[in-house]
Amino acid sequence: MTQRDPLQGRRDFLRASGALGLAAMLPGAVRAASSTPGLAPQANAGVAAGAPLPSRAPLAQQPFRRLPAGAIKPAGWLRRQLEIQASGLGGHLDETWADVGPNSGWLGGTGESWERGPYFLDGLLPLAWQLDSPVLKAKAQKFIDWTLEHPWPNGMFGPRSNDDWWPRMVMLKVLTQYHELTGDARVIPLMTNYFAYQLGALPQRPLRDWGRSRWQDELLSVLWLYDRTGDARLLQLANLLHQQGFDWQGMFADFRFKEKVDVAALEAKGGDAVFMKDLGQRVHGVNIGMSIKSSPVWSLVSGSAQDREAVHHQLAMLDTYHGMPNGMFSADEHLAGRNPSQGTELCTVVETMFSLEVALAITGDAALADRLETIAYNALPGTFTDDMWAHQYDQESNQVECSLHRRPWTSNGPEANLFGLEPHFGCCTANFHQGWPKLTASLWMATADGGIAAMVYAPCTVQTAVQSVPLRIEQNTDYPFRSRVEITLHPAQATAFALKLRIPGWATASTLTVNGHAQATEQAGRFVTLHRAWQPGDTIALTFASKPTTVPGFNDSVSVRDGALVFALPIAESWIKWRQRGLTADWQVYPASRWNMGLPENASFHRTEQPVGAIPFSRHQPPVTLSVQGRAVASWKAEEGAADPVPRRPQADAADTPEMLTLLPYAAPKLRITAFPLLAPGSDEHPKDDHVS
């Protein structure tokens, strides 16, 4: 068989979708978009402003579509949280960290030229527009303009010091968001030329290392462009990415990593040079977090229900063998089993969130939203200081000390759970920014039948369109600290459409009213659909019932949940500055109170609520607490700054009487116990000579 000239593929691609014919192929809204950067957002290429494009045939249709970037703005406590991020490292990182500073390779400098500039932008860009901050927009615009104005002659883009596929995958995600926000006409030609170049180059220079593990992140951008141009060559590129990318679905179908991974032993076995030099990449937490969306995203091309549903098996394997009480899986830096003293990398948290946001739209499974909320409202804020000027590389569910001591990490070093600028590795310093803004962008989605759906609950406003009619939504709530959500609809005119509302899987009951009139609701874990002609000012009230409950875990331990929140025992904290780092500092945190407490079977909890303060996940003003009686477990100790594995069914310390414990939302204390030993039967009884009223 005659081998095809790879350059011919690129020439064909350019001929089909290149600059000369591009304008005629694009929707009118895109052709009319301003090419001047920094202008107010223009109309999206959808039916109306704020409405997403439908999937273009032959791509599979999906039950939900994420709204264009900028359609959802934070309100209430969520806006305060984003303002905290903007006032902290999120808005000032370029002023104190050279890797994204003025000498960045993504600004034409000689500094860091790989993933950190794109990572930073992937969160800075949506943050800037969600807060409508001219200062943050200007910071992002510098990187965008340099990228768009300095393409390589062959179609490649980015710093000339490397031609790695991986960092460009991140920048492509940035450019898709930027185009949705501004309509900048420079974006689509640059992406078209780049994909044309890549189509010709991949046969000789295939995906490797990080790019091979993370191919699905580029596939998102390829399909985004296909929906706008309809160029069939993009589907050819999609198939090539899938062919060269790592088979995550296959790995989890025959999942062999069922305990803490010894990476050195794994690499010593060798014999798999086809995959990548670092055999540990397949058990690398961030790669796995990104891979959670791989099967659903590929299902848009394959049309296979098996591909679409494979995400559930993948999550089940992670839960079974590496699940943590905070909704995440252990990965410090590699899969590490279920001991809650193992850590989880911050990059893994935000990438898992984004994967769940994508998979939720494609599968329509409400259970993915439950998991997303658990991670977003516990693991995400739990790894930052309140002011978001410092973060951890690894967080632990049972975190009794943050110090330079050695820990039971699978491969990380002693700095990994310090709070600081760039503890251990700087990838999380660049990448954490996407967590809150991308959650905000996923609170509501469009439905396949032209309606709108509430996917994740948090205070926000939405500007979109249904049935080509502009629609503004106001969602007022203190969820997850409270269980009531109020939604007011403002269509430009009375319009009939379906409104879907998710009933969380943990809800023991729910009530629903429209304009004060009771409506039928749905069982937990499903969407209730309201189909009617909606009038301007119509108001929906939705209330969920829940009760504190214990969840079984590692070594018969239990964690405590109420609604979307996980609760933890706070440990008194002694913060010691290790070193100044420009505008911020690195900190060690030592325990100043006893932490080795157990809970009895059939524990009884009392819930107390306070106002949600300026810092939503504050230790000093927690919006909700739980009280429960516990007993000390003297045999449970710490070594090298890490709690020993939770003991199985220990006896309580007979020398101590029961005491009332006050549990806080997981993210509030930075030293905490989240997985408690379940006391042996009889341990909750008072000693015979104990006279406790």
Place of tokens 């000032």: 92
- CB-based contact 548:640 (threshold 8 Å): no
Q: Are 616 and 626 in contact (CB under 8 A)?
A: no
Look at the block and give the residue holding tokens 């002659």: 153
pLDDT means over runs of 10, the chain (693 residues): 36 39 31 31 48 94 96 98 98 98 98 98 98 98 98 97 97 98 98 98 96 97 98 97 96 94 73 51 95 98 97 98 98 96 98 98 98 98 98 98 91 94 96 98 97 98 96 98 98 98 98 98 97 98 97 97 98 98 97 97 96 96 97 95 96 86 98 97 52 30
Q: How far apart are alpha carbons 408 and 423 in whole angstroms?
A: 17
How far apart (Å, rounded) are the C-alpha atoms in residues 570 and 589? 13
Q: Say if CB 565 and CB 624 are below 8 A apart.
A: yes
Could you tell me the CA-to-CA distances from 143 to 104, 182, 464 in Å, in that order?
9, 15, 28
Q: Which residue has the tokens 């709530």?
A: 477
The count of C-alpha atoms lying within 13 angstroms of the C-alpha of 189, restricted to the half-sphere facing its C-beta, is: 17
Domains in the chain, ordered, with CATH? 1-22+66-245 (no CATH), 444-545 (2.60.40.1180), 550-673 (no CATH)
Q: How far is Cα 66 from Cα 360, in angstroms, rounded to an integer?
A: 9
Torsion of CA 166, 170, 176, 178, to 10 degrees: -140
Please provide the distance, in angstroms rounded to a whole number, between the alpha carbons at the two ends of the chain.
89
Rounded distance, CA 345 to CA 347, Å?
5
Q: Check the CA dihedral 437-442-446-451 and report its sign.
A: negative
pLDDT at position 27 is 30
Question: DSSP 3-state assignment of 682?
Answer: coil
DSSP-H helix ranges across 432-493:
435-440
Residue 313 sits at the vertex; the CA angle it makes with 307 and 318, to the nearest 5 degrees, is: 130
Question: Do residues 427 and 391 lie in contact, with contact meaning Cβ atoms separated by under 8 Å?
Answer: no
Q: Indicate the helix (H) or strand (E) that contains 95.
A: helix 89-96
pLDDT of residue 656: 80
Helix (H) or strand (E) holding 65: strand 64-66
Query: Among 257, 261, 277, which residue's Cα sits nearest to residue 212?
Result: 277
- Provide the β-strand partners of residue 581: 584
Report the alpha-carbon distance of residue 389 to residue 440 in Å, rounded: 21
Sheet strands (E) in 251-373 = 343-345
Residue 36 CA to residue 369 CA, distance in Å, equals: 37
Q: How many CA atoms lie within 13 A of 77 on its CB side?
A: 20
CA pair distance 606, 628, nearest whole angstrom: 7
Nearest-CA neighbor of 458 among 492, 481, 424, 489? 481
How many other C-beta atoms lie within 10 A of the C-beta of residue 373? Answer: 27
Q: Provide the phi-psi class of 474: left if phi over 0, else alpha when psi is between -120 and 50, else beta.
A: beta
Alpha-carbon gap, residue 391 to 641, rounded angstroms: 18
